[in-house]
Amino acid sequence: MRINLKTKLIISLGFLFLVILLFGVLGVFYINKLSTDAENIIRNNYETLVYSNNMLKAIDEIPKNKKASENFEVNLKKQETNITESGEKQATEELRKNFEELKKDPRDASNYNDIRQTLQEINNINQAAIYKKNEIAKHTSEEAIFWLTITFSFLSLVAFTLVMNIPRVIATPVRALSEGITEIANKNYRKRIYLDQKDEFGDLANTFNVMAQKLDEYEHSNLAKIKFEKSRIETIINQMKDGIIGLDEKKNILFLNAIAEKLLGLKESEIIGKYTADIALKNDLMRMLLQNRNENELKIYADNKESYFNKYVLDVTNNDEVIGQVIVLRNITPFHELNEAKTNFIATVSHELKTPISSIKMSAQLLADSRVSALSTDQKELLKSITDDADRLLKITSELLNMSQAETGNIQLKLQPVQPAIIVEQALQAVLFQAQQKNISIQKNIPQQLSAVQADAEKTSWVLINFLTNAIKYSPESSAIEISVSQTENKITFAVADHGKGIEEKYLPKLFDRYFKVPGTYERSGTGLGLAISKEFIEAQGGTIRVQSVLNEGSIFSFTLSAA
């Protein structure tokens, strides 16, 4: 039979209440009974003894004191109204008779003796009654003690039983449930609770066991999935061409992939779980990785040659709390090699082209000399076209040499005062055709009163051309691009603003790094060198370069140079 916990408590406490109520009623009953017996003794018999004693005292004073007779009369009347015992009425009537005779003849001595004897008889009757009633009260007291003792003993036994059992009924399952919950919190999902109780605690224990079973099943199934995912991720990481090092929040090694092992010259099994600072004491590359967090490009001896790597430190977060880091070493040696080959090719081609172009130009000048031969109008126009094309080719080869200088670090500057409007105009002429192809308008904002800027006009124009080319490339068709120049004290700022898709804030600090390309641009033709070369050109002139961008709103590329 199922009895829930609430019913058990109601039965137990209700029974205890009834026993307490019974004990109280029984106590009140016997107290009232003893009170009634004591009251009867005092009110009936004791008062008669007082009256009798007063009358015995008055009878001795009657011959001498007239007021004694009155006093006797008063007490006799009280006695006549307080007759409660058998035989007391006849004795009181006899007393009245003798007292009446005494009043007629106070000198008759026989009446005094009769009165004394009658009073003594009344006293004896009441004393006997007092003794009898006292025995009854004593019996009542003994009976009260007996029943109250039995009731108290029974009540104590019941209370002791409840005190011993009720806490056990509640505390035992609560303790078992507490232990079970602690085990579950410690991921011991095999814990079970067994309670032989058909109440709420029994239901709770069964529910707990079902929950623990479900958690156990989930843990084992989930563990298999986690192991599979771990193996899959490890396989992917080890197949990557970049070196990857995983650290926990305390800078202890979590994992290395094969490339990182090769670069560090260490096995993952040898350093797993070790503190990176301890490893750095004996490993130069690890020390370099820890000391140069902000240095993106590293030169490392690998594959029996000097290799170049870009370093990225990625924070692993959970609820905005850093719980670890991943160091990625991306091999950019092929880019360096391609860049070096391209630079050498550009320098060689530019140098080789200069000689024949100069010869063509010299030959054209000779042909234009009237002393050599006279030319027709058509011939002069053709000769002028040849001269213009030769000049243009010489300018292009000069620009190519400038690029090779920037990439090799041997930048040759021709700093001189130049008007900002001239630099802007040269840049605009170079990108006008590209802008027209996408129907993009370029708006100029150049104040009239501007100081000349101390700059290399060709290299500064090249930077502006790079800014404008990028703006045109990433702007939607039929949009607008703004180019502006402003002056603050002795600083002049050139800025190019577009309304394209913008750049995420996290990529902005890396835009001017060599070989960096914003993820998602899918720009296969670029090498990631344009902005890096622009930065080198501007900083070589003592200026600063910067970028501002808001995603889906556009970007502003600018640089600042000193006024002349």
pLDDT digit string (tens) for the chain, length 564 residues: 555 656 666 776 677 677 777 767 777 776 776 666 666 555 667 778 888 888 888 787 777 777 888 888 888 888 888 887 888 888 888 888 888 887 777 776 677 787 888 888 888 888 888 778 778 777 877 887 888 788 778 777 877 776 677 666 666 777 777 777 887 787 777 778 777 666 666 777 778 778 877 777 777 766 666 666 667 776 777 777 788 888 888 888 888 888 888 887 888 888 888 888 888 788 877 787 777 655 567 777 766 777 777 777 888 888 778 888 888 878 787 777 776 666 666 666 665 666 677 778 777 777 776 666 677 777 777 777 787 777 767 666 665 665 666 556 566 788 899 999 999 999 998 888 889 989 999 999 999 888 999 999 888 998 999 899 889 988 999 999 999 999 998 999 999 999 988 888 888 888 888 777 887 665 544 556 778 888 888 998 999 999 999 988 999 999 999 998
DSSP-based three-state secondary structure for 515: coil
pLDDT at 486: 93
337-408 CATH, one of 1.10.3470, 2.40.128, 1.10.287, 1.10.620: 1.10.287
DSSP-based three-state secondary structure for 542: coil
Helix (H) or strand (E) holding 416: strand 416-418
In this structure, are residues 310 and 300 in contact, taking their beta carbons and an 8 Å threshold? no
Take residue 335 and report the two structure tokens written for it. Answer: 């880019």
pLDDT at 547: 93
Rounded to 5°, the CA angle 431-434-436 comes to 110
CB within 8 Å of 289: residues ≥ 6 apart = 245, 280, 298, 311, 327
Rounded to 5°, the CA angle 400-345-336 comes to 95
Q: How far apart are CA 117 and CA 79, in angstroms?
A: 16
The burial class, CB within 10 Å (0-12 / 13-18 / 19+), for 47 is: middle
DSSP state of 240: S
- Per residue, the 3-state secondary structure of 27-96, as one string, reads HHHHHHHHHHHHHHHHHHHHHHHHHHHHHHHHHHHCCCCHHHHHHHHHHHHHHHCCCCCCCHHHHHHHHH
pLDDT at 524: 47
The burial class, CB within 10 Å (0-12 / 13-18 / 19+), for 403 is: buried
Backbone phi and psi for residue 114, each to the nearest 5 degrees, phi listed first: -60, -40
In this structure, are residues 563 and 449 in contact, taking their beta carbons and an 8 Å threshold? no
Name the residue among 286, 242, 252, 291 with its Cα closest to residue 272: 252
Which residue type occupies 166? I
Max CA-CA distance within the chain?
207
- Region 416-562: CATH code: 3.30.565.10
Alpha-helical (H) ranges within 376-483 are 377-408, 420-437, 457-473
Q: How far apart are CA 462 and CA 439, in angstroms?
A: 22
- Region 240-331: CATH code: 3.30.450.20
Q: How far apart are CA 538 and CA 491, in angstroms?
A: 13
Alpha-helical (H) ranges within 240-332 are 258-264, 268-271, 276-280, 284-291
Sequence spans of domains, the chain:
5-175, 240-331, 337-408, 416-562
